[in-house]
Amino acid sequence: MNHERLVFINGEMVPESRATVSLFDIGRLYGAAFYESIRTFRHTLFHLTEHYARLKASLRYAGILDMLDFNRVEEAIIKTLEANIDLTHEDDDMWICVEVTPGTGFPMPLKKGNKSTPTVFAYSSELPHADYVRYYAEGKPAVTSIFRNIPSQSFEQRCKNRARLPHYLSKLYCQGIDPDAFALMLDTNGFVTEGTGANIFFVSNGKLFTPTMRNILNGISRLYTIELAKNAGIEVIEKDIGLYEAYNAEEAFWTTTSYCILPIRTIDGRRIGGGKPGKTTLSLLSAWSESVGVDIVGQAKLFSRV
């Protein structure tokens, strides 16, 4: 129960401290790694079918779905869950990440005739409750990045991938301005896209607004939030959103795998709503808690160790 976490790498379970990928893996050489980040609720993996479907879509886009026996992905996830779940308190939950790359090849990756075997690995983590627990109540500042998200004609962010240099640059940029803030990334036309690891939503006149999927991650949490909103009779509109609309929203929040929904307090120093989490945001978070049978905020409070 106190063992080191185990990581699945191409079929084997290895201790996390030795969990590595070859320097010559094409995933590393090109950022051509496609992954899913899945959390449990009550120790059950959430929306697993949707994650499988999205990963298949990423791999088809990247042209490597046909090279892969997809059972290997399912095996990776299941085995990683089983091997590590005992490290998670029965009232807490965990996080699993599974990745697929085209495999290893050096010095001539992708050379004619040399079909490589995809690399599959999966690793787990405790949920980083301490990092966000206080923002459920306070809201988290957002800062617009000067680095623009990659346009879809270069490649589509919709597929969850590791070629995220603008996200890294944005994170760093935003830490320099406000260490507490998350970065907000615009597209090359100046419209809001996403955070560096989360989707974004706005509330105005009782409706939910979120960017179109033109060049953002096709977030599973984003889709679930839309579903929850529709169930609650809230209209959801996908459209181009500029900074005027962002600054003037009544509420704003991030969605992602770990914290589910996190309120935004300010954007570029403008207070959103009254500067504290809005009631639509909180009601969506409650609906989520209810639907999964876990008090999401309560759990974060209980298990955060600052």
Give, as ranges, the residues between 205 and 234 that touch a copy of itself (CB under 8 A). 212, 214
User: What are the distances in angstroms from CA 169 to CA 18, 149, 164, 181?
Assistant: 28, 11, 9, 14
Structure token digits, residue 225: 């939030």
If the CB atoms of residues 180 and 283 are measured against a copy of itself, the closer one turns out to be: 180
To the nearest 10 degrees (0 to 180), the angle between helices 279-292 and 220-231 is 100
Interacting span for a copy of itself (CB under 8 A) from 42-50, 74-82, 179-187, 277-285: 179-187
Would you count residue 52 as binding a copy of itself (CB under 8 A)? no
DSSP string, 153-189: TT--TTS-BS--HHHHHHHHHHHHH-TTPEEEEE-TT
Candidate list 11, 15, 206, 269; residue touching a copy of itself; CB under 8 A: 269
Q: Among 85, 87, 116, 155, indicate the residue that binds a copy of itself (CB under 8 A).
A: 155
Question: Whose structure tokens read 């049978």?
Answer: 293
Among 45, 48, 87, 177, binds a copy of itself (CB under 8 A): 177
Q: How far is the CB of 72 from a copy of itself (least distance, A)?
A: 17
The 8-class DSSP code of residue 104 comes to B
Position among 268, 286, 301, 304 found at the interface with a copy of itself (CB under 8 A): 268
What is residue 248's DSSP assignment?
Answer: T
- The sign of the CA dihedral 245, 202, 196, 63 is negative
Residues 6+ apart with CB under 8 A from 25: 101, 103, 104, 119
> What is the three-class DSSP state of 83?
helix
Tell me if 169 contacts a copy of itself by CB under 8 A.
Answer: yes
Q: How far is the CB of 290 from a copy of itself (least distance, A)?
A: 26
Residue 13 is a binding residue for a copy of itself (CB under 8 A)? no
Among 10, 31, 116, 227, binds a copy of itself (CB under 8 A): 31
End-to-end CA distance of the chain: 22
Q: Which stretch binds a copy of itself (CB under 8 A): 21-29, 42-50, 282-290, 295-303?
A: 21-29
State which residue, 245 or 286, has the beta carbon closest to a copy of itself: 245
**Binding positions for a copy of itself, 81-120, rule CB under 8 A:** 95, 102, 106-113
| Shortest separation between residue 61's beta carbon and a copy of itself, angstroms | 5
> Which of 150/220 has CB closer to a copy of itself?
150
Q: Is 66 left (phi over 0), alpha (psi -120 to 50) or beta?
A: alpha
For the CB of residue 135, give the shortest distance to a copy of itself in the complex, in Å: 13
Amino acid at 163: A
